[in-house]
Amino acid sequence: MRSNGRKNDELRPLNLSTHVNKYAEGSVYIEMGETKVLVTATVDEKVPPFLKGQGKGWVTAEYSMLPRATHSRNQREANRGKLSGRTMEIQRLIGRALRSVVNLHALGERTITLDCDVIQADGGTRTTSITGAFIALSIAVNKIAEQHKLNVFPITDYLASVSVGIAGGRALLDLNYEEDSKAKVDMNLVMTGSGKFVEVQGTGEEAPYSRSELNDMLELGEKGISELIARQREILGPIADRIGTAGSRSGV
Amino acid sequence: MRSNGRKNDELRPLNLSTHVNKYAEGSVYIEMGETKVLVTATVDEKVPPFLKGQGKGWVTAEYSMLPRATHSRNQREANRGKLSGRTMEIQRLIGRALRSVVNLHALGERTITLDCDVIQADGGTRTTSITGAFIALSIAVNKIAEQHKLNVFPITDYLASVSVGIAGGRALLDLNYEEDSKAKVDMNLVMTGSGKFVEVQGTGEEAPYSRSELNDMLELGEKGISELIARQREILGPIADRIGTAGSRSGV
Amino acid sequence: MRSNGRKNDELRPLNLSTHVNKYAEGSVYIEMGETKVLVTATVDEKVPPFLKGQGKGWVTAEYSMLPRATHSRNQREANRGKLSGRTMEIQRLIGRALRSVVNLHALGERTITLDCDVIQADGGTRTTSITGAFIALSIAVNKIAEQHKLNVFPITDYLASVSVGIAGGRALLDLNYEEDSKAKVDMNLVMTGSGKFVEVQGTGEEAPYSRSELNDMLELGEKGISELIARQREILGPIADRIGTAGSRSGV
Amino acid sequence: MRSNGRKNDELRPLNLSTHVNKYAEGSVYIEMGETKVLVTATVDEKVPPFLKGQGKGWVTAEYSMLPRATHSRNQREANRGKLSGRTMEIQRLIGRALRSVVNLHALGERTITLDCDVIQADGGTRTTSITGAFIALSIAVNKIAEQHKLNVFPITDYLASVSVGIAGGRALLDLNYEEDSKAKVDMNLVMTGSGKFVEVQGTGEEAPYSRSELNDMLELGEKGISELIARQREILGPIADRIGTAGSRSGV
Amino acid sequence: MRSNGRKNDELRPLNLSTHVNKYAEGSVYIEMGETKVLVTATVDEKVPPFLKGQGKGWVTAEYSMLPRATHSRNQREANRGKLSGRTMEIQRLIGRALRSVVNLHALGERTITLDCDVIQADGGTRTTSITGAFIALSIAVNKIAEQHKLNVFPITDYLASVSVGIAGGRALLDLNYEEDSKAKVDMNLVMTGSGKFVEVQGTGEEAPYSRSELNDMLELGEKGISELIARQREILGPIADRIGTAGSRSGV
Amino acid sequence: MRSNGRKNDELRPLNLSTHVNKYAEGSVYIEMGETKVLVTATVDEKVPPFLKGQGKGWVTAEYSMLPRATHSRNQREANRGKLSGRTMEIQRLIGRALRSVVNLHALGERTITLDCDVIQADGGTRTTSITGAFIALSIAVNKIAEQHKLNVFPITDYLASVSVGIAGGRALLDLNYEEDSKAKVDMNLVMTGSGKFVEVQGTGEEAPYSRSELNDMLELGEKGISELIARQREILGPIADRIGTAGSRSGV
């Protein structure tokens, strides 16, 4: 039995609210246990310089934690004058993951920025950000689709993310901070609605892991992600039916 | 009649929730109409270098807006690598205002940092931050007082803040963004529970204002602030009775 | 009696020299007692990006202290790699104050930058900068008016600034550093030739102040500013007559 | 057949020279095909602040590319004033990977910094850096062991890294730049001499991948890494025999 | 004949005023023609970390131009967030030159910082800064010598600097901006009272120069510097007699 | 006799290899004794903003040392977030020196950037960089000349550089690190194939030097540079014959 009485393959309670910001084109507030993230999606009718004139769009993300999202207060990155390596790594991951399920040509010359701001952190902030960002993105893309009468709905598949790990000799799903800090192996998975991998990132800094441990973690992750995607479908309601109708994504 | 049907001397609806963060020593979520701010108070058992060995504490503040707190998205200051002049001006104001009602000697060699993060902005983010920060500060100070059995409760008076302005030829209380952007004069007031001024900051960049206009604004502000302080008393409950028992503040 | 034998409502000796820089479109060297500031006005025949194509101009200011302007040497902001909050606050104030008396449409698509460099500081550097900058600005605007045969003289009124405070239980005009460091309340006033307020900024970090103390300070300030404006008129000579002929300012 | 006539499971030609820097405690120059990296190991007899007084050491890495390591010249990060997200991600990876095979307690209170400078880039610069850095690290650790007569040799296992990917429908080992830019999936593997995983990082931004494709890539990677480790053993000569005698690593 | 009617070997008019700053331990205002520099010397009773505990002192310099010291306004380095290469080169030169005539052991564990702020620039700002800084330094060192009853006066020789160049086929002394911008060769010389070289920096970016042209420039420079040193002696009055009594400088 | 048995006027062994980088338009690896520098020349078919539309090109340089190029490891400038004064001074020198032998009009609207990366440092890194950069530049310019059928070959003369100094009472040519750190005077010379000076930079921070010492150093430098230029001719082969055919350089 895990702390909080969860089973090894059990997710933390998930709460989702959409349309939580009056200005953003898409927004969601997501709680995975005590991890709380606010995600807004902003649509900008232009693309970054490296994409100009190519007839396709861009999806990118920024990630930040409020100073007191954690046990002890963290200095703001704005005060240090630069982003930490951890922040950059996470926001690159979120953007890359979301782009894997967006047909950038169908999106047209627009940029969607997902701002993932962690209000409170208790493990799994990057995976929770991805799961939430997919919802905010879908709402924003739907708004574009309706306003601009796009022929094709640009989101090609569902996408969610979860962490898995090895702690106390067993594979665990969706680690909270306490479990994470004791884990010997830490893995983040991002998968699509069709069960394919978008990201597999497993680190055994404390202890290298075997092929069979890797397989155990992948199985837990697949189970958790399919549950998360079921919840995404539910909250997206009618938008859910449009996802994946675009066929496969083209172009980066 | 103002937009939203408010009278000239009427505050926007105020919502307050305390203890909204599981790690912070004090926290409050405050809504003034559509302006929404999360404030956490962090206690650190040391003081900045310039105060070392003087037997007294420090209170300071940081202020930030989430990128999509506003109509159009703002670039994060962490990305620009520095704080804007506006941010610095606001956080200096918040810290200074709070220190005016804290007996820093009674606080002892501790620093309390108030993080004011604007979740959504609709005018008056700095004044709302101050009103909220006073509550988070009081909760955190009360926790210190209980843990360390302080002889004197270090908060010497109540403190709240509101904006006033001149728009369409009349003085208005608590301007929202739409009113603020049309106002010819913009004034922020910070006052104590005993009705004294801590900050008067009135700017007539668009149109200089007369002594009688100044007086009209000061009167509206006094009314609004006394209403805000009544609400602070209410939500602080038993802590409220300890405020002001320390006598006047000594030292900076 | 104050140190140096001044009366409570007495300004420090004021010295002014104009045309002190061979390159600048306007320049003034101003001494208020031992506070010494060099101000240059630079005219640039373009406007910042946010004003492009609107047919109007801009007035902005920068403020800096030489490292040894003060008792102990201050590190240069260029070495720290960023401006302090204090510097940004002051230069925003100077720019805003000057714009309140400039008809930006009459100025045309030009930017005037006022550089206020404090050679020696003894209290009141920001107010002295504003009083001096108005002169440098007027000289530079006059040069533009003559070169470009403007129909309307873009400066709509006089502008000067002074500090007031409460120290030792009495309201004092134009505090020097020694008085300022003992003052319980510190207020900066910016007013026009027609006696209206452009900025009222009063801070009672050490001790909140009453409405009647506020009134005392405002009265001292009005007296001091009218004396400063009389001196501005004198030194501007023939330019003085053109000020205010433009009628009220339009636009930001 | 691949460009250059390699088989799908064939590494590029590997060249290694050690002791290429007269000052560094360990150094290696490594060529994987046209990718050329210079790695130096620097031993510092102290640890970073967060490790002080814990009786254990630290291993960290820095990564950089010379401006003309690539087809077109890249601006130096020293000129941009900050490290890119890519650089930070890579150097965090290298350091983490190396620490997984170092017994930090056996190392004692010392820091070893691996500087990986890419002289020429043709795909796989991060994996080549890891494979080379392990050699430079081993030489430096051996020097410490000899000088300080350590009881235990602090390196617990071999470590090497290679990239794999899916391109043109097949899994490929050790992609060069041309192959990498066409690959739909890009995976970096870091493994130990005992065949365990230290890092699995597979990204399908262009096209999500199935579990069976993941398995194909893992197998290619295992083969490649075991060949690289054989070459490491060879070049390390007598040092090779000491690796892994320390038993499992303890502590971060 | 040169513009302004100077002869080829003629300095511009030199004006010097000392004690121009009420706070600094030494100060001088120097005008070489239209080039105007304010120099203050600040004494700090400690040394930089790299000199701690060695029983000797340090002399360093900072250099800056006011934004409108030049024909067109320059952006402040504090706004750009870093010093330009030109500024760094100049302040390194000034510090190095001054240290060449200071016995750092006789100075004791103190740092003297020379701030050279160019009020107006018309060529030769770095050489004028050095000539002026020597005076401010001497005044400050004399103050230390008197307060601390130093056995040995730490300044070992006089020091002054001038620019020379080749323009229109002739060698010229002390170029103003107009001459400098037309010169094919630009050389800065720093020499001691005993006629030795401390710095020879001659650049022929526009046109390489011959050994005989080099000799012509050195001769002009020697003449100019001996005239400048005569003026330094004069203004330093009784301090002048103490210079050089320490014997040769020891130690960096 | 010097350490290593060199005579006072003897250069260290010089090794040169060209075409060491597969991407750069010109490249050279140069060893002067134990000082090792990799130089690449990058051609960019545009000019910096200040040269736009003037029909001429630009040559510029960047200089950097690998962290372990020296006895003890240096922090990377990319980590410190800015270039040191030393680096800026050196790269300004290299660029300026090279431009003195390039006819920028004949080059056309192109920029050539010389990247000088010091792999190992043992004194004379800036002079070795210049000597090597001239070779890389010549190769790159020759490539342009062939591709664009330039009428005039833009390099007007040879260029090389060496250090000289005074140590132990004698003038020495081409100091290594050990000699340099003991030298009382340190001088860098840059000269052309026709024996003219491009840069003379001699610093006597430790001990001012006399005119006759200056002459001794200049003579050693002339001898050393003529030997270096002989080696440049040799390695450039057929390109060597085109150098200087353009006549004198016009324009900066």
CATH class of residue range F14-70+85-242: alpha beta
Contact F117 D34 (CB under 8 A): no
| Number of neighbouring beta carbons within 10 Å of residue F48 | 10
- F4: helix, strand or coil: helix
CA distance A59 to A154: 11
E85/chain C closest Cα distance in angstroms: 13
F95 in reach of chain E (CB within 8 A): no
D82 in reach of chain F (CB within 8 A): yes
D24 in reach of chain F (CB within 8 A): yes
C89 in reach of chain B (CB within 8 A): yes
The residue among D246, D228, D160, D153 whose CA lies nearest residue D196 is D160
The residue among F78, D190, B76 whose CA lies nearest residue A91 is B76
CA distance E117 to B52: 34
Percent of chain D at pLDDT exceeding 70: 97
CA B224 to chain CA centroid, Å, is 14
* pLDDT value at D132 more than 80: yes
pLDDT (tens digit per residue) in D201-238: 999 988 899 999 999 999 999 999 999 999 999 999 99
* pLDDT value at A41 more than 50: yes
Which of F27, F40, F77 has its CB closest to that of D78?
F77
Chain D neighbors of A202, CB-CB under 8 A: 197, 199-201
Which of E88, E89, E100 has its CB closest to that of F204?
E100
Edge-to-edge order in the sheet of strand C14-18: C14-18, C26-32, C35-44, C111-120, C58-65
Read off the pLDDT band of C233 (50, 70, 90): very high
Read off the pLDDT band of F81 (50, 70, 90): confident
Which one of A166, A203, A218 makes the best mutation probe of the D interface by having the most chain D beta carbons within 10 Å? A203
Read off the pLDDT band of D250 (50, 70, 90): very low
pTM for the complete prediction? 0.91
pLDDT (tens digit per residue) in C115-142: 999 999 999 999 999 999 999 999 999 9
CA distance A61 to A112: 8
Q: At what angle do helices A211-236 and D211-236 cross, to 10 degrees?
A: 140
CA distance A211 to A221: 15
Which other chains touch chain A, taking contact as 3+ CB pairs less than 8 Å apart?
Answer: B, D
pLDDT (tens digit per residue) in D143-199: 999 998 888 999 999 999 999 999 988 999 999 999 999 999 999 999 999 999 999
CA distance C173 to C2: 11
What DSSP element (H or E) covers E31?
Answer: strand E26-32
pLDDT (tens digit per residue) in B1-21: 787 889 999 999 999 999 999
CA distance E224 to E190: 11
**What are the residue boundaries of the structural domains of chain B, listed by start?**
14-70+85-242
Chain B: residue whose CA lies nearest to C81: B82
Read off the pLDDT band of F14 (50, 70, 90): very high
CA distance D73 to C205: 55
CA distance F34 to E55: 35
Percent of chain C at pLDDT exceeding 90: 88
Read off the pLDDT band of F250 (50, 70, 90): very low
Q: In the prediction, which pLDDT does F251 show?
A: 43
Chain A neighbors of D89, CB-CB under 8 A: 85, 88-89, 92
Summarize the annotated binding site of A for phosphate as residue ranges: 86, 124-126
Q: In the prediction, which pLDDT does E252 show?
A: 39
CA E77 to chain CA centroid, Å, is 21
Chain A neighbors of B72, CB-CB under 8 A: 23
A149/chain D closest Cα distance in angstroms: 26
E18 in reach of chain C (CB within 8 A): no
The residue among F88, F158, F164, F101 whose CA lies nearest residue F127 is F164
Q: In the prediction, which pLDDT does B200 show?
A: 97
Read off the pLDDT band of F246 (50, 70, 90): low
* pLDDT value at E174 more than 50: yes
Q: In the prediction, which pLDDT does C252 show?
A: 39
B77 in reach of chain A (CB within 8 A): yes
pLDDT (tens digit per residue) in A148-175: 888 899 999 999 999 999 998 899 999 9
* pLDDT value at B250 more than 50: no
| C90-97 average pLDDT score | 97
pLDDT (tens digit per residue) in F175-232: 999 999 999 999 999 999 999 999 999 999 788 999 999 999 999 999 999 999 999 9
Kindly provide the residue ranges of all beta strands, DSSP E only, lying in chain C, ordered along the sequence: 14-18, 26-32, 35-44, 58-65, 111-120, 159-167, 170-173, 185-192, 197-203
CA distance D115 to F68: 8
Contact D208 A202 (CB under 8 A): no
Backbone dihedral region for residue B236 (phi beyond 0: left; psi -120 to 50: alpha; all else: beta):
alpha
Q: What is the CA radius of gyration of chain D?
A: 18
The torsion defined by the Cα of C70, C72, C77 and C80, in degrees rounded to 10, comes to -170
Contact A191 D211 (CB under 8 A): no
Contact C70 E119 (CB under 8 A): no
Which of E82, E192, E208 has its CB closest to that of F198?
E208
pLDDT (tens digit per residue) in F117-154: 999 999 999 999 999 999 999 999 999 999 988 889 99
The residue among B165, B173, B101, B168 whose CA lies nearest residue B130 is B101
DSSP H helices, A74-186, are: 77-80, 85-99, 104-107, 125-148, 177-182
Contact C68 E34 (CB under 8 A): no
CA distance A205 to C221: 67
Chain B: residue whose CA lies nearest to C99: B205
E21/chain C closest Cα distance in angstroms: 7
Contact E211 F202 (CB under 8 A): no
D2 labeled part of a ligand binding site: no
Report which DSSP code applies to A75: P
A205 in reach of chain D (CB within 8 A): yes
Q: In the prediction, which pLDDT does B151 show?
A: 85
The residue among F165, F179, F102 whose CA lies nearest residue F133 is F102
E157 in reach of chain F (CB within 8 A): yes
Read off the pLDDT band of E168 (50, 70, 90): confident
| D5-15 average pLDDT score | 96
Contact D205 A96 (CB under 8 A): yes
With vertex at residue A229, the alpha carbon angle to CA A227 and CA A232, rounded to the nearest 5 degrees, is 120
The first and second tokens of residue C195, run together, are: 């006696």
Burial class of residue F47 (count of CB atoms within 10 Å of its CB; 0-12, 13-18, 19+): buried
CA distance C176 to C121: 9
CA distance F12 to F125: 13
Chain A: residue whose CA lies nearest to B74: A42
Chain D neighbors of F72, CB-CB under 8 A: 23
The first and second tokens of residue E121, run together, are: 């620039």
Looking at every residue in chain C, the average pLDDT score rounds to: 94
**How large is the ipTM?**
0.93
D238 φ, ψ to 5°? Answer: -60, -25
Q: What are the Cα distances from residue F191, in Å, to D196, F12, F124, F140, F250?
A: 60, 18, 15, 21, 18
Which one of E196, E220, E229 makes the best mutation probe of the F interface by having the most chain F beta carbons within 10 Å? E196
Which residues on neighbouring strands pair with residue D151, listed in sequence order? none
Which one of F68, F91, F125 makes the best mutation probe of the D interface by having the most chain D beta carbons within 10 Å? F68
- Whether the CB-CB separation of B144 and B169 falls below 8 Å is answered with no
Number of H helices, E strands in chain F: 6, 9
- Whether the CB-CB separation of B169 and B186 falls below 8 Å is answered with no
* pLDDT value at B246 more than 80: no
CA distance D83 to C223: 56
Q: How many CA atoms lie within 13 A of F206 on its CB side?
A: 14
Contact F205 E96 (CB under 8 A): yes
Chain B: residue whose CA lies nearest to C201: B201
